[in-house]
Amino acid sequence: MEKLKKYNQKLLAVLGSIAIVFLVIGLIGFCSILISEYQRTSYYDNQDDGILSEEKIEELQKENKREQVISYETPKLIDTLQQLYIIPVSQKSLEDAEIINKSNLLNMYHEALILEKEKADIRYSGSYYGNFNNIIIYNQKTGNTQKLFTERVNFSGFKTVYFDDDIFLLCNVATKDSYKDGVINLRDFKSLYMYSFYSKKFQQVGDSELPIIDYQFINNSKELLIRYGIDKNTNGTYEEYREPSILKRYNFQTEKLTDIVDGKLHNELQQILEGSKK
């Protein structure tokens, strides 16, 4: 009986130790999940910062202050033969507004730009994501740099598309605080912008009042099939789950944007849906 009692005590001690180990492991795992979730949330919160609205900028300018500063991302090799790179330009939000000292603007970016050698096939990855306000075209052969945008914009990514005779750079860009929340970011209306590395032509596709949702090239041609959103409740942001969209076709050469579905057919479909056509 005494032996059985000691055996039970030892068994309970072992089981208790195992339970404590599992409890500690579970607690560590739970803390790791909380930390990861916090970091992920913090990252996306920063991504939603966008650039400040014109109204906010005007307030800061009156005090000769700024709340955001330029930041440069890793250069991307676009054309191996011509040694052409694009340098995404993003922004960082300061914890507190600072006085603008124009004499020190160039000193904000004082480190030399180092371009690592990349394999030729890396440039075909196509899409890049982040929180950007401009793009610089850098020609390593000549040392020349060129900015694409001359106005204040915000975009979350861009895409490079390769043809036999050209390379296109495309990005969905917000230029106005359409949502009226004091920030130009992904909640605002976005327009499609295209840049041709061959012709050096940079153009906006469509009207900035018609927010772009997505696009695709048609049969490997330079014509685009574009889906635009309709801000039916006029709140300044497109809500895909409750607001309609339309399809248009864009020709890069002629710069013409035309409807895929004409007005007559659209009205017929709407009448069938609402039951007004018997």
pLDDT of residue 6: 57
- Concatenating the DSSP letter of every residue in 136-176 gives EEEETTT--EEES-SS--BEEEEEEEE-SS-EEEEEEEE-S
Tell me whether strands 155-162 and 127-139 are parallel, antiparallel or unpaired. Answer: antiparallel
Distances 233 to 20, 183, 229, 238, 245 between C-alpha atoms, Å: 56, 20, 12, 9, 13
pLDDT of residue 98: 78
pLDDT for 43 equals: 39
pLDDT value of position 208: 75
Looking at residue 56, its pLDDT comes to 86
Cα separation, 157 vs 162, in Å, equals 17
pLDDT the model gives residue 241 = 79
Q: What's the pLDDT tens digit per position in 174-194?
A: 999 999 999 999 899 999 999
Low-confidence residues of the chain: pLDDT under 50:
39-48, 105-125
Contact 223, 249 (CB under 8 A): yes
pLDDT (tens digit per residue) in 230-243:
898 889 998 887 88
pLDDT value of residue 112: 35
Look up residue 135 and give its amino acid.
Answer: I
